[in-house]
Chain A
Amino acid sequence: MTSAAATAVLTPAEMAIGTPLPTRRQEDWKWTDLRRRIETPYARGAGVADPSRVARLIAADPLAKLPLRRVVFVNGVLDRSHSDLTGLALKDGAPALAEAEWLAAMNTTLEAQPVTFTVSGTADRPLHLMFLTLADAPAAAGARVHIDVAEGASLQFIESHRGIGAYLANPALTIQLGKGARMDRAKLELEGAEATHLAVAELTLAADAVLRDFTLTSGAALNRQNGRITFAGEGADARVTGAYLLGGAQHADTRLVVDHQVPRCLSREVFKCVMDGDARGVFQGKVIVAPDAQKTDGKQSSHALLLSERAEFDAKPELEIYADDVVCGHGATSGDLDHDHMFYLMSRGIPQAEAKAMLIAAFVGEVFDGVDHEGLRDVLTAFAQNWLTAHKS
C-alpha cells in the first residue's frame, strides 16, 4: 500500500484486521470516518460456526420459501453442506480485484477463499448466494466471489447478507457479463444490528449485455458499499437501483462509479433513501464518460426522505465527461414528506401514521417495482411494511 495512511500509526482495530483504513481526508471517505467508527479490534477470520445455528439462520431467511438455488457462505467460506451445488460450474480461485482500494485490500488481508461460478445458457432457477456471519467474539470475515456469465447467457442472481454478533463482513464480488448476457441482480443487506458491512462489487459488461441491479440497504450499524459498473463493450445497458431503509444510529454510504469506456451504452441509477432516527445516509455516484464514449446516455438520481429532524443525508452526484456527443444528467433531492401529500391523504380520512406509511412505501416502491422476480418483489414489499411498522414514530 502506497498511500499516506499506510505510514500513519495504526489503530488497534487496524492492527487486528491487518490493514490500515481510509481517512476522511480522502475524497471518497469524506462522510464516513472508518478510522473513528471502527474501534473494535476484530479478529481476523470468524472461524467455524456451529452448524445448528447456521441451519436456524438459514431457515429464518426472508427468501427461504422462494424456489431458488441456494448457495451458503458462512463466515466468508463456502458451506457445501447447506448448499445446492449439483450441476453448478464452480471452481476455486477468482481474478484479482480491478480497483486497488481500501476495501479490496482488506479482502486480500482477510484471506477470503475465492470461488468462481460460471453460468452458460439460462439457469434453471435463480441463484441465491446467502452470506451469513456468526461471530461469538468480534471478528472480521472476508468473502470473495466471481461470477462469469458467458456470452448470451442469463442469470437471476440474489445475494443476501445476514448475521449474528458484532462482526465485520467484507464481501467482494466481481461479475463479468459476456456479450449479450443478462443479469438480474438483487442484493439484500440485512446484516445484524451490531455489524459492519464493507462490500465491494465490480461488474463489467461486454457488448449488448444487460444488467438490472437492485440493492436494499437496511442492516448493519455501519455500511459502506463500493460499486463499479464498467462498460467494456458497445450497446450495453445497465439499470442500477437502490433503497435505504435506515433508523436508529445506522450509517450507510454507497460509492457507485459507472464508467462508460466505450460508445453507445446506457446507464440509469435511481436511489431512494429513507432515514429515520439519527440515521445518516450517503450516496456518492459518479458517471464517467471516456473521451471516445460517444452517444453515451447516462443518468443518475438520488432522493432522500428524512423522517426525523435528526436524520441526515449527504450526496455527491458527480459527472466526469470527456466526450461531447452525450446525454448525461443527474438529480438529487432531500427533504421530509411532502406536506401537501400528507394533507390530501388525511383529508380523505387516512390517519397520520397510515398516510405516512403509504407515502414512504410509494417512495421506495418506485425502485421495488423494477425488480423482475415477483416473489422477491413481494418479499421486499413485506420487508418495507415491517420496517415501517417498527419505525412508526
Chain B
Amino acid sequence: MADQDTIDLVKDIDVDKYKYGFTTDIEQEFAPRGLSEEVIRFISAKKNEPQWMLDWRLEAYRVWQTMVEPTWAKVSYPKIDFQSLYYYAAPKAVTGPKSLDEVDPKLLETYAKLGIPLKEQEILAGVRQQGEKSTLDEEGAGATTPVAVDAVFDSVSVVTTFKAELAKAGVIFCSISEALRDHPELVKKYLGSVVPQGDNFYAALNAAVFSDGSFVYVPPGTRCPMELSTYFRINAKNTGQFERTLIIADKGAYVSYLEGCTAPTREETQLHAAVVELIALEGAEIKYSTVQNWYPGDKDGKGGVYNFVTKRGDCREAHAKISWTQVETGSAITWKYPSCILRGDHSRGEFYSIAISNGRQQVDSGTKMIHLGKHTSSRIISKGIAAGRSDNTYRGLVSAHRKALHARNFTQCDSLLIGDKCGAHTVPYLEAKTSTAQFEHEATTSKISDDQMFYVMSRGLSEEEAVALIVNGFVRDVLQQLPMEFMAETQKLIGISLEGSVG
C-alpha cells in the first residue's frame, strides 16, 4: 500500500527540478558582510540579548579564530571564504515571532508552498473540538493531527504555532531568541552544556553568530501533547544559516520533535552550520527526527548547501533515552554526526539514518555513542544509498569507557550503490575499554540485484519506479522510526532524490 503510494508519487514528479527551489521576494535586512566582533555585537543587539549572552558569543568567536577547519571527513570542496558571507538576514517586518495574524502573508505563502500551511493548520485545529474526528481522518491516517511548528526564515523565527495549547501543558516551545528573553535562567543553565563553544570549528562558529532556532522545555512528568517541529528555510543569497536548537526533557518527560529544511536553487553555495543540544534528565525521552532536503546543487555540482552540523544529546541521568532519526537527501556537502552521551545508568541512545546521495553530493554522516554509565545501551541502524557521481560515507564511533559496565551496542550499516560512478564507504570506530561491554557491528555493501529489478519491472514498473520501490524497502527499518505524519512525505522524497540515477 505504502509502496504503491511511492510509485504514484514518483510518477508525478517533475523530473530534474528541485521542488523547493523557488525564492521568496521579500525585503530583508542584513548584518554587514563578513565576520568580526562588530557583526557579533550587531546580531546580539538586534536580539536585545543580555550581556552574558554577548560575552558567551565573543568568547566563542575568540576560540573559533584559533581553530582550523576539520579535514578528516571524506568530502572535498573549495575553501570557504568566511568573510564573504552574511551572518544575519531577516525579513524586514519581522523583529521577533508574533501571532500568525501579524506574519507577512508572503512568508505564510512560502511555507504553504513548502507544504506547511501554518495558518490553516491552526485554524483547523481551533475549529474542531478536542478529540472530534474530521471526515478527513478516514482518508489519510493522521493527516490532520496538529503539529506545532516553529518556522525559521533565514536568521529568524517568523512564527511559532500552537504556543498557547502547549503552554497549558506546561511545555515551552518558542524561538531561542524568545527563550532568552522569557526564560533566561533555563537557557543560561543548559546552553552549551552539551556542545560547548569550542567543541569543534563549526560549533564554535555557530556559538559566535547563531541567530535563531527553537527552544523546547518539557516539565517533569509531562508528555508533550503534540509533535513539535521546526521548519528551516534559507532564502537570502550569500547568507549562512546558523541556528541553534536546545531541547530539555525534564525528569520523566517525553517529547517528539521534527525538523525540516529546504533552500532555493542558487548558483552560489550556501553555508549552514547548526548546533542542536538535547538534554534528557532522569527517565525522560527525546525523539528527534530530521528530514533534511537542503538544495543539493545541480547535476554538475554547482551550488547547493554546505551542511556542517553538530547535533548531540546528553542522557544526563538514569533511564534517559534519546533517539535520533534522520533522512538526509539534500545538501551538496553533509557533515553531520548526531550523537548520544550515555551518562546516566541504564540510559539508551538510538540512531536511525537514511542518507541518499545523488549527482555530485558528498555525504559524511553517522553518529557517536559514548557509553559512560552502567548498563547503557545503544542501537545504530544506518542505510546509505549512493547514486550518480556521489560519495556517501558512514562514520561512527561506539565507545565504552572503563566504568561503563555492561554497556551494549548493536550497529548495522548497510550501503547500496546505484550505478558505477559513485562511492559508498563505511568507517566505524569501536573502542571497548571494559570487558563487560558487548559490541556487535555489522556492515554490508551491495547493489540492487538484477533479479529484484527484473521481477519488479516484469510487473509493469519503469526502471526508475522499480528503484524507488526497492530502495524504500531497503530503508524500511528506519522509515518506520519517523512520526506517522512524515512517512509518506519521506517516501516521496526518496523517490525524488534518486531521479536520474538510472538509465
Interface, chain A (partner B; CB < 8 A) = 27, 30-31, 291, 294, 304, 306-336
Contact = CB atoms under 8 A, between A and B. Distances in A.
Given A309-B435, A333-B439, A336-B435, A328 B428 contact: no
A321 B432 contact: no
23 contacts: A291-B421, A308-B435, A309-B434, A314-B429, A315-B429, A315-B430, A316-B428, A319-B426, A319-B443, A321-B445, A323-B417, A323-B420, A324-B420, A325-B420, A325-B447, A327-B444, A328-B446, A330-B441, A330-B443, A331-B440, A331-B442, A333-B438, A334-B438
Closest 8 CB pairs of A and B: A306-B435, A324-B417, A336-B435, A329-B444, A334-B432, A319-B426, A335-B438, A315-B430
B432 A317 contact: no
Nearest to B431: A314
Contacts of B420: 291, 294, 323-325
A326 B447 contact: yes
A326 B441 contact: no
A325 B445 CA distance: 9
B441 A317 contact: yes
A321 B424 contact: yes
Given A27-B72, A320-B423, A333-B440, A313 B430 contact: yes
Nearest to A327: B446
A335 B433 CA distance: 10
Contacts of B426: 317-319, 330
B415 interface: yes
Contacts of A332: 428, 430, 439-441
B442 A329 contact: yes
Contacts of B440: 331-333
B443 A309 contact: no
B450 to A, nearest CB: 9
Contacts of B421: 291
Interface string B14-34: 000000000000000000000
Given A327-B444, A332-B430, 7 more contacts: A309-B402, A317-B428, A319-B425, A321-B415, A329-B445, A331-B440, A335-B438
B423 A313 contact: no
A31 B433 CA distance: 12
A334 B443 contact: no
B437 interface: yes
Given A326-B446, A333-B441, A318 B427 contact: yes
B368 to A, nearest CB: 14
B435 A331 contact: no
Q: How many B residues are at the interface, by size bracket?
A: 20 to 34
A291 B423 CA distance: 8
Given A329-B444, A331-B442, A324 B422 contact: yes
B418 interface: yes
Interface string B61-78: 000000000001000000
Contacts of B442: 329-331
Contacts of A329: 442-445
A332 B421 CA distance: 28
Which of A304, A314, A334 neighbours the largest number of chain B CB atoms within 10 Å of its CB? Answer: A334
B435 A321 contact: no
Contacts of B144: none
Contact of B433 (A312, A315, A323): A312
Contacts of A335: 432, 435-439
A31 B432 CA distance: 12
A309 B417 contact: no
Given A309-B434, A327-B446, A332-B430, A321 B425 contact: yes
A324 B418 contact: yes
A320 B441 contact: no
A324 B449 CA distance: 10
Contact of A324 (B402, B419, B430, B436): B419
Interface string B174-216: 0000000000000000000000000000000000000000000
A335 B447 CA distance: 32
Given A27-B72, A324-B447, A329-B442, A334 B430 contact: yes
A324 B431 CA distance: 30
A22 to B, nearest CB: 15
Contacts of A304: 432
A231 B186 CA distance: 59
Q: Which of B432, B439, B441, B447 has the most CB of A within 10 A?
A: B432
A311 B437 CA distance: 11
Nearest to A306: B435
Interface string B240-252: 0000000000000
Contacts of A31: 431
Contacts of A307: 435
Contacts of B444: 327-329
A91 B110 CA distance: 77
Contacts of A330: 426, 441-443
Contacts of A306: 432, 434-435
B432 A331 contact: no
Given A318-B425, A321-B415, A330-B443, A313 B432 contact: yes
Given A317-B443, A326-B446, A331-B441, A311 B435 contact: yes
B416 to A, nearest CB: 9
Contacts of A313: 430-432
Interface centre among A27, A318, A326 (most CB of B within 10 A): A318
